[in-house]
Amino acid sequence: MYSEDFDDSPVALDHKGYYQTTTINMTGVTSFTLGGSINGSYTTDDWFAVNNSRFESKDCDPISTLDWISSSVNISSYTSVTLSADIVLLTSYSEMYVTAYYEVDGSGTWVQFGTNSDASGKTIANGGSWTGDNLSVTIPNGSSSVKIKISHYGTNGSSNAYHDNVLIEGTGSSCTEPTTAPSGISFSSITTSSMTVNWTGNGDGDMVLVVAKESGATLTEPTSGTSYTANTVFGSGTQIGTGNYVVYDADGTTQSVTVTGLSSGTTYDYAIYAYNSTDDCYYLADYETGSQATACTPPGTSPTSLAFSSVGSNSMDISWTAGSGTNSLVVVKESGATHTDPSIGVSYSASSTFGSGDEIGTGNYVCYSGTGTSFTLTGLTGSTTYNVSVYTFNTSPTCYNLTEDYDSQQTLAFNTFYINDNSTSNDIYTSAVGSDSNTGGDSDPFLTISTAISAASDGDVIYIDAGTYNNWENITLSKELTFNGAGTELTLIDDEFAGASTNYFMYVTADNVVFRDMTIQGYENNGSQTPGTSGQALTIGAGASGVLIEDVKLSGNGASGGNPSIVVLANCSVTIRGGGSLCNTWHTAYAGGIEANGNGITLNIEDCVVAYNYKYNSYDGGGLLIQNSNATTTVNISDSYLYSNDASDGGAISQRSGVLNVTDCIIDSNVAGQTSTSVYGGAVRM
């Protein structure tokens, strides 16, 4: 019902003496008052204060007694009401006292409670450190309200005294609550520092309580049996929880309250409750809520000269001339989605990948927020029209000029290219054998992937038909392309007979690259190739994001150096989705399956089989290795089967660093330890 631990009391608001104040400032303090001869003459040795999250006094002799008094608490619907407080003296001193009292029903009679009383009736706290004594009492049932008073008394040279953790608790009995809530919230007369909150229905209680908070603060409901003090100046009424302030407490005749003391360009949330005043019983099953931002003064000049360049099938460059605000906000939607402006007082998170930033309304995505005047928008769909709005705004407060610069741009249609070997057997995409002198169509496909990559642009799709493709080696991919095979048993990218230990398939440095439906096998490199830490088959590096490896079988890749089939480097985002295919089967020593190496990695492994991966001697993490990373690297494994992997330690998984989440996986028959090596974790080492 009541709790005061002084953690939320403003420090120095009620200091006197030591802080050389001549009057007491109680602004913002609603849960207690001060009494006694508090306007006496204080010096640097005679003072009181809220200090270090407790109420403290020193040598209170100028006023004889300093009284701290709680607000009145309605206890009419409670039984077994207990009052308690902690008190302490830093050192034992016979002329320093702290005494606790309570008063019921506003009677004016204060009843002392607690132990350690001397002959004069004052309570003496034990001296020493802040352990102190706890004073408590259970008052008789039947009272309607209660207050606690804690009196500090001291003489010249006496010790510091404290009290803290003042509680009024009880067993709640059922109260008579309303059955309908207020309704019809609306807002009017909105200025930079005030607004009027209106409602059309009071509910069926005899009183209405309105609570306000800044957007972002956690809503805390009122407590039945507790009365609150309202103040229309935001922050001055009773605080419920943290940041929830009572701004109205009346019978609802006016059905409105004008709230002042607000900050410009800030969104405020309101909750309107019905309650019965007989026992302060609040209807919490339903209540009316609404939000509204205060007005602000927006920048006067809007952005201009919105332009598009380097338009591809899945990306485009956007530039503009800034308005007079400190920042620009760019909102993008597909043509057809309903346009929605940003809200005053709301800050948004942006992403240059369409669909990944904050969504405003439906389908309006924040793609840029900052002080620049250009960026590259990615994640687009070919042959699609996008509407772009550029706003100027100021921060502190967040205030948008809602007259935006606006234009539309259609992405290019993506191109498709085809690859085939020297046979048409089992082909599903093409009708002719491949040749690099062809144009790359389905009836005249290319022969090699390097030719197709050269012909393609960002967003294009390359189909690799059934066949075995040898000596596709050491490719660096800097374009956003999709590679679709004909299936893991039909499209085989095979380097088994190359005879070199320095070959890898591909080093990916571009975003949004996709590999599907193929097998990559037989690659052997010793880990010394660019970028230094490289996979036997695939390396994802240079901060590439949105990379998808789906239904791809990696088999028989391995050579000296200990690097696995797939290596994901720092700041990359990769999903490996198996569909039940093998990620890698061991070929020679050292291979391993997958490695996350560096900070800022997001690696998702879904529905994969990671099996028969083998690391020799001192190499660990046969199936998966996470290393050289901090908590910014996260690896998530779900619905996967890790079995028959072998390493010096961590047969299936070795987590040397980073964050690992494993969900709904089977880890079975994995082995740790080879000759002359330590053994840690046949299944998982963490």
Cis peptide before 10 (omega within 30 of 0): no
Per-residue pLDDT reduced to its tens digit, 638-657: 998 888 777 766 677 888 89
Q: Higher-confidence residue: 216 or 493?
A: 493
Per-residue pLDDT reduced to its tens digit, 164-207: 889 998 886 668 889 999 999 999 999 999 999 999 999 999 99
Per-residue pLDDT reduced to its tens digit, 411-462: 988 889 999 999 999 999 999 999 999 999 999 999 999 999 999 988 899 9
> What are the residue ranges of helices labelled H in 172-313?
none
Report pLDDT for 320.
98
pLDDT at 79 over 90: no
> What are the residue ranges of helices labelled H in 340-496?
449-455
User: Which residues 6+ apart lie within 8 Å of 626 measured at CB?
Assistant: 595, 596, 633, 635, 653, 654, 655, 656, 657, 658, 660
- Residues of 154-166 as b/e, b for ≥16 C-beta within 10 angstroms? beeebbbbbbbbb
**What band does 326 get if pLDDT is binned at 50, 70 and 90?**
very high
The average pLDDT across 206-224 equals 93
Report pLDDT for 194.
97
Neighbours of 528 (CB within 10 A): 13
**What band does 18 get if pLDDT is binned at 50, 70 and 90?**
very low
pLDDT at 319 over 60: yes
**What band does 23 get if pLDDT is binned at 50, 70 and 90?**
low
CB 443 within 8 A of CB 432: yes
CATH number of 2-172: 2.60.120.260
**Closest by Cα among 339, 342, 364, 340 to 354:** 364
**Closest by Cα among 401, 433, 408 to 419:** 433
> What class, spelled out in words, does domain 186-293 have in CATH?
mainly beta
Token pair in block for residue 656? 């040397």
The average pLDDT across 512-518 equals 93
Distance CA 357, CA 280 (A): 45
DSSP label of 412: P
**With helix as H, strand as E and coil as C, how does 25-59 read?**
CCCCCCCEEEEECCCCCCCCCCEEEECCCCEEEEC
**What band does 471 get if pLDDT is binned at 50, 70 and 90?**
confident
CB 612 within 8 A of CB 644: yes
Report pLDDT for 451.
96
Strands 2-4 and 160-172: antiparallel
Is residue 640 classed as helix, strand or coil in its secondary structure? coil
**What band does 19 get if pLDDT is binned at 50, 70 and 90?**
very low
Neighbours of 144 (CB within 10 A): 15
Which residues on neighbouring strands pair with residue 321, listed in sequence order?
A: 304
Q: Which CATH number fits domain 304-410: 3.20.20.140, 2.60.40.10, 3.40.50.150, 2.60.120.260?
A: 2.60.40.10
Token pair in block for residue 549? 């490896």
The average pLDDT across 4-17 equals 55
Strands 491-494 and 538-540: unpaired
Distance CA 244, CA 639 (A): 44
Whether 186-293 and 304-410 share one fold: the answer is yes
pLDDT at 626 over 80: yes
Per-residue pLDDT reduced to its tens digit, 519-576: 998 887 765 555 556 677 889 998 999 999 999 988 877 755 457 788 899 999 999 9
The average pLDDT across 71-77 equals 82
Report pLDDT for 13.
38
CB 599 within 8 A of CB 563: no
**Amino acid at the residue 88:** V
Distance CA 586, CA 408 (A): 52
Name the helix (H) or strand (E) containing 555. strand 547-555
Whole-number average pLDDT of the chain? 83
Exposed/middle/buried for 119, CB within 10 Å: 0-12, 13-18, 19+? exposed
Q: Where along the chain do its domains lie?
A: 2-172, 186-293, 304-410, 500-685
**Is the sign of the CA dihedral 587, 588, 592, 594 positive or negative?**
negative
Exposed/middle/buried for 498, CB within 10 Å: 0-12, 13-18, 19+? middle
Distance CA 76, CA 280 (A): 8
Per-residue pLDDT reduced to its tens digit, 358-402: 999 999 999 999 999 999 999 898 889 999 999 999 998 899 999
Per-residue pLDDT reduced to its tens digit, 245-304: 999 999 989 999 999 999 998 999 999 999 999 888 999 999 999 999 999 999 999 999
Which residues on neighbouring strands pair with residue 36, listed in sequence order?
A: 66
pTM above 0.75, yes or no: no
Terminal Cα-to-Cα distance of the chain (whole angstroms): 47
The average pLDDT across 486-506 equals 82
The average pLDDT across 599-620 equals 80
DSSP label of 382: T
For the chain, helix, strand, coil in percent to 5 are: 0, 40, 55
**What band does 64 get if pLDDT is binned at 50, 70 and 90?**
low
**Is the sign of the CA dihedral 84, 86, 87, 92 positive or negative?**
positive
Distance CA 509, CA 565 (A): 17
Structure-token match 């019921």, residue found: 104
Token pair in block for residue 646? 């072998």
Report pLDDT for 518.
92
Report pLDDT for 528.
58
**Is the sign of the CA dihedral 440, 442, 445, 451 positive or negative?**
positive
Widest CA span in the chain: 111
CB 591 within 8 A of CB 615: yes
Distance CA 60, CA 96 (A): 9
Cis peptide before 299 (omega within 30 of 0): no
**What band does 587 get if pLDDT is binned at 50, 70 and 90?**
very low
CB 614 within 8 A of CB 589: yes
Token pair in block for residue 98? 């702290």
Q: Which strand ranges, in their side-by-side order, compose the sheet holding 641-643?
A: 609-611, 641-643, 666-668
Report pLDDT for 45.
63
Distance CA 495, CA 519 (A): 11
**What band does 123 get if pLDDT is binned at 50, 70 and 90?**
very low
Neighbours of 43 (CB within 10 A): 11
pLDDT at 74 over 90: no
**What band does 27 get if pLDDT is binned at 50, 70 and 90?**
low
